[in-house]
Structure 1
Amino acid sequence: MKIYDEKHLKNIVLLGAPKAGKTLLAEDMVFEAGIIHRRGTIEGKNTVSDFHDIEQERGNSVFASSMHTEWRDYKINIIDTPGFDDFIGEMIAAVRVADTCVMVINAQHGVEVGTELIWDYIDQFQKPVLFAVNLVDHPRSNFDSALQSLKERFGNAVVQMQYPLNQGESFNAIIDLLKMVMYKFPPEGGKPEKLPIPASEKEKADRLHNELVEKAAENDEKLMEKYFEQGTLDEDEMREGLKLGMIHHEVFPVFVTSAKKNMGTGRMMGFIDNVAPCPAEAKPELSADGQELPIDPSKPAVLFVFKTHLEPNLGRLSFFKVISGEVTTASELVNSQTGAVERIHQLFIVDGKSRNPVDRLVAGDIGATLKLKDTYTNQTLHAKGYDITVQPITFPEPRIRTAVIAFSKNDDEKIGEVLHKIHHEDPTLMVAYSKEIKQLIISGQGELHLAVCKWYLENVYKLHVDFESPRISYRETIRKSANATYRHKKQSGGAGQFGEVHMKVEPYFEGMPEPTEFPVRGKEVIDLEWGGKLVFYNCIVGGVIDARFIPSILKGVMEKMEEGPITGSYVRDVRVMVYDGKMHPVDSNDISFKIAGMMAFKDAFLRCEPQLLEPICDVEIMLPEDVMGEVMGDLQTRRSLIMGMDSKGNYQVIKAKTPLAELDRYSTTLRSLSQGRARFTQTFSEFSSVPFELQQKLSKQLQEVEAV
């Protein structure tokens, strides 16, 4: 296979909301280039990109899939991404290594919530963008409306390159405003006939062509001067201006396609070849310490691993972009994060499930290798002695969580190991065992994300599990002060156990005055690892309790705080004063005072008007205006406090504070209420008081469990 240098490579990513037609557009591109000789279909389960079993089972993309074309002396690396934001990690990683983003827009809907979400990351990385308005052959296609939604959302940077004729089921022609010709397609699609623009369209085409010329001229002073002198630019000059505008993120060209009929794809690929920036022209990557890392074949090798995937019966496939130098099948590289030395035994150009072996890959190219020992997603490999770490991708926080329950207790340990492997492949899936709620918790981006994880556990690793709603991490505190006394006495022959503790417990808040009712002999302020504080005072006088037993009393208090008296949750924000007690010259020991301290704290706590606190989340929902009523009504049933409303492009944004306990499976409800057109994020905000009725219910549940 021919090796292309950094000036003859194009790396593009196909992005868009679900059902925009990305997978079929990718299919058209590899078909047009002759990589495949027959276009696959979603129904036929034979497309290049959606080749995983789970994708064919579900009928939609789950993973980002790599492929390539060789088109007019250029190699175009293509990454097709999922549309559902449950798989946002796949999209973000692909955007990061691409040099141009092709945002596929459904001609029926224009800008969708999915478009908005993806755009946040495109904008963050300042990647060049072109829009492909797809599905113009659909009976409900509305190109003008879709174009208007793009202009309203993205402003004057949106520049029209084409528009369709006969859109809808009879669609067969595109007016091209750069070349000023009409492309007319045969019924089966493919190579079009170039024809003059019809007289009925000439005035409109001329007007739009002039707007395109002006937009191209804006991006360069010399082009602007030439435009003022001559009143126009030739085709090459327009390409130059458009390229500069794309690189500076100030021009977003709009193309027309019908992926289903294979119409318009070839023309868009020609534009990508001629105008879209190559890796050498693209914005440089950054190192972890903020230095620019331009694509440079003359420097030592640096690879950035942006995706890893375990292939059954094959091993772990690692996808990477060559940032500098070149990599060969004999290369030995160092993992900058772990220090492990990795030997590259095989190199591939990947086309879906097909792997095409190559001997080397150069700076700017995208490839894959098998069976790296200790390298995963978001890590850097570099030549020995050339210590560089590419700035890692920041992935979004999880939005949904579930507890993982093994059908067989013998599988518990293995499930934990497998889930950590999956996390290394997919950093947006978080895994942790919660000591507090005593459950193995996985957190992800949505129901589909977790469903894919479960599918892999059961079908690839043969581990049978159940997912259930996780327990809530409540906190316990108090609202008033109380005193308690507890005597621990145990006699069982020989030395016994004896310890008596008198204790005052009260609520703690920042800045409260020091106690005056007891003399303070010692004070310890403990920042609790679960949040809040414990302030512990030794107020013993006259030696009624020996100083060596005070740490044991504190230990007993801490142990009870780890399993609070109301629900067994962590206790926070209390102040404890040990002011009296008794001891025995023979029977008193550490365990006696630890038990006495624990029980005295429990007795006092229950007299202090215990208050249960629940985690509250900041929830932000982006949705179409026509479903706001249903979504607001549902939020109210979830004890939400609406904090405000805003707009973002064509969409509304609701901001609310909602108890975590009310957000279980919320993504499914929201998808149902909005027909899949709304998205939400949630982040922990604070702990807040639980309603009295709910506190009573949860306390009763704990008592029932303890009674069993």
Structure 2
Amino acid sequence: MAEKSVRNVGLFGHASSGKTTIADAFLFCAGANNRFGKVTEKTSIFDTDPEEIERVCSLTLGLATFDYKNNTISLIDTPGYSDFIGEAISGIEAIDCAVVVIDATAGIEVGTERLLQRIEERKLPLIFFINKLKKENTDFSKVLSSITAITKRNIIPLTVPIGSATALSGVVDVMQNKGLGPKGAEIEMPADLKDTLSQYTDKIIEAAADSDEALMNKYVNGQKIELNECIDVVKNGIIEGKIALCLAGDALELIGIHSLIETIINFMPEPHQLPDITLNSQKIARNDKSPFVGFVFKTTVEPHLGEVCFVKVLSGEIKSGDVIKNTTQSSDEKINQIYLLKGKEKQEINQLSSGMIGGLVKLKNTHTGDTLAARSIKAALAPITFPTPSISMAIVPKAKGDEGKISNGLTKLHDEDPTFTFAFDPEIKQLIISGIGELHLETVLSRLNRKYGVSVDLAKPRIRYRETFTKKTEAQGKYKKQTGGHGQYGDCWLRVEPLPRDSGVEFANEVVGGSIPSRYIPSVEKGVKEAL
């Protein structure tokens, strides 16, 4: 397996754009699954969580690693709902190629733009896949124009639809000049598409000339440029973030999926072709001979295995039995079992090579965002930046004595999903949970019940009331104690008055003549401030 080429691909986009359908179609067309799993039929390889099956949508990151021809492909499917954006952000950290899926009936949506911004920040190689073209009222050219408006990259359409809406029968491969039907079967290309095809061929040549000086000179001088001359230039432009590809299809009809697979293999870079890793100004090449560096981008908790850490090997190799360093936590970790993951399926292997993604189990102190490395390396990669929670609710256990089980369950759920947080507020005496949205919190509490057997009620957080002085007033305090002899006596006046807002607390001693000894004043000040 180590000798095979590696591709790490992620699917991103707005909710209901068809990402999971594309992922399942990808596995089916690549021969990694003997049936076409479907979300609506609850047979998807990627949506295996009970909440996902019940709601018929993706709520967590899904991973499938499989072989295709001479390549090892790790395909990551991510949720589109904004409540679960943390899962998509984790996926972005693991991939070497992003496929942004666009629903042809809806065009560019908010979720698409939000994720595209993250992808652009990381300068990832990029493919746009215009999906659901067999539905009514779809317009490939219109969606293609909207794509060019949201990115600075030159967009090259490598496939265009044959027919439109319900008449869609396949796509034309612009580079190979042939028609492809469902599952990539070759079909006849209509004669009326030849002029359109010529326009898209020109787009490829223009984009390549824009990225290469030699081709630009030929283009300016009116010399003919063959498509074969553009391939390497396009590949380099993709790595440099100057060019993005665009494909057409309908995943439910298995149209355009074969072209997507072949485009990833033929045009997207392997991990070793990407820029070196930088750790404290140290450059580390992405190959098997370099020191081991890995990044944990996702953690799940499973009943019989415990925590499973999804790790992307950025450089070097890792084997069962190795002792490595968690440079984020400054602790050693011993590698036990290593798994390749395909939905619920797990295949135990002995090692992961540079560029590969796998699951590590029984690590003692490793969590999402941690860097694992050879013991000679001390620096850590930057952790994942997740959005802060935007909604909070209080929870109350339905059964007495469940507080410990609740705390344990919430801790593990936070390890799985860092966008979910919880804390006990001593001021209002409530356990507060926080998340991205209402659906997010509903899903967390459903998992708390299912996985840890704890039921809770939701309540509104109490208000933290604040009091302050509104006018000047005085009060007298006397202390008398007769214990024989002279006894003890004290008489003190305390005056309070408001200060301008946000001025804090000011304590002033206006005792004159030493009627109250100065050594008692600090105690008075301490008592006043404690009372406030």
Partner Cα separation in structure 1 for residue 124 and residue 141 of structure 2: 25
Q: 1:548 to 1:244 in 2, by over 3 A?
A: same
Match of 1:151 in 2: 148
Match of 2:70 in 1: 73
In the TM superposition, 1:542-581 aligns within 5 A as: 542-561=513-532
Q: Do the aligned partners of 1:219 and 1:241 also contact (CA within 8 Å) in 2?
A: yes
After superposition, give the CA deviation of every residue in 1:394-442 in whole Å (9 maximum; x if it has no partner): 1111111111211234222332233223222221112222223222212
Of 483, 505, 523, the residue aligned with 2:473 is 483
Q: Do the aligned partners of 2:234 and 2:243 also contact (CA within 8 Å) in 1?
A: yes
In the TM superposition, 1:266-415 aligns within 5 A as: 266-287=258-279, 289=280, 291-415=282-406
Q: Give the superposition deviation at 1:270.
A: 0.7
Q: Give the superposition deviation at 1:474.
A: 5.1
Q: Give the superposition deviation at 1:172.
A: 1.0
Q: Give the superposition deviation at 1:488.
A: 5.2
Partner Cα separation in structure 1 for residue 366 and residue 433 of structure 2: 22
In the TM superposition, 1:518-533 aligns within 5 A as: 533=504
**Partner-residue secondary structure (3-state), 1:26:** helix
Q: 1:56 to 1:492 in 2, by over 3 A?
A: farther
Match of 1:260 in 2: 252
Partner Cα separation in structure 1 for residue 20 and residue 174 of structure 2: 27
> Which shows bigger deviation, 538-547 or 399-408?
538-547
Q: Do the aligned partners of 1:159 and 1:215 also contact (CA within 8 Å) in 2?
A: yes
Of 86, 92, 106, the residue aligned with 1:95 is 92
In the TM superposition, 1:694-705 aligns within 5 A as: none
Percent of pairs with identical residues: 32
> Are residues 1:191 and 2:181 paired?
no
Q: Do the aligned partners of 1:11 and 1:76 also contact (CA within 8 Å) in 2?
A: yes
In the TM superposition, 1:508-657 aligns within 5 A as: 508=500, 533-561=504-532
> Are residues 1:427 and 2:418 paired?
yes
Considering Cα pairs closer than 8 Å and 6+ residues apart, tell me whether 1 or 2 has the greater RCO: 2
> Which shows bigger deviation, 339-348 or 253-262?
339-348
After superposition, give the CA deviation of every residue in 1:251-306 in whole Å (9 maximum; x if it has no partner): 1211012110111111111111111111112244443x465544232122121111
Partner Cα separation in structure 2 for residue 153 and residue 225 of structure 1: 29
Q: 1:492 to 1:312 in 2, by over 3 A?
A: farther
After superposition, give the CA deviation of every residue in 1:128-165 in whole Å (9 maximum; x if it has no partner): 21100001111232323322221222256233222212
Provide the aligned length of Structure 1 versus Structure 2.
530
After superposition, give the CA deviation of every residue in 1:200-227 in whole Å (9 maximum; x if it has no partner): 1211211221111110222122333454
Matched AA of 2:2: I
Q: Do the aligned partners of 1:160 and 1:208 also contact (CA within 8 Å) in 2?
A: yes
Matched AA of 2:200: L
Q: 1:231 to 1:335 in 2, by over 3 A?
A: same
Q: Do the aligned partners of 1:30 and 1:68 also contact (CA within 8 Å) in 2?
A: no
Matched AA of 1:437: I
Partner Cα separation in structure 1 for residue 488 and residue 87 of structure 2: 64
Q: 1:496 to 1:442 in 2, by over 3 A?
A: farther
Match of 2:194 in 1: 202
Match of 2:212 in 1: 220
Match of 1:418 in 2: 409
Of 206, 221, 232, the residue aligned with 1:240 is 232
After superposition, give the CA deviation of every residue in 1:158-196 in whole Å (9 maximum; x if it has no partner): 33222212222231121222222222x2xxx3232154x
Q: 1:257 to 1:436 in 2, by over 3 A?
A: same
**Partner-residue secondary structure (3-state), 2:498:** strand
Q: 1:490 to 1:151 in 2, by over 3 A?
A: farther
**Partner-residue secondary structure (3-state), 1:433:** strand
After superposition, give the CA deviation of every residue in 1:38-74 in whole Å (9 maximum; x if it has no partner): 1111122111100111111111111111112323322
**Partner-residue secondary structure (3-state), 1:398:** coil
Of 40, 58, 64, the residue aligned with 1:43 is 40
Q: Do the aligned partners of 1:290 and 1:391 also contact (CA within 8 Å) in 2?
A: no
Match of 1:597 in 2: none
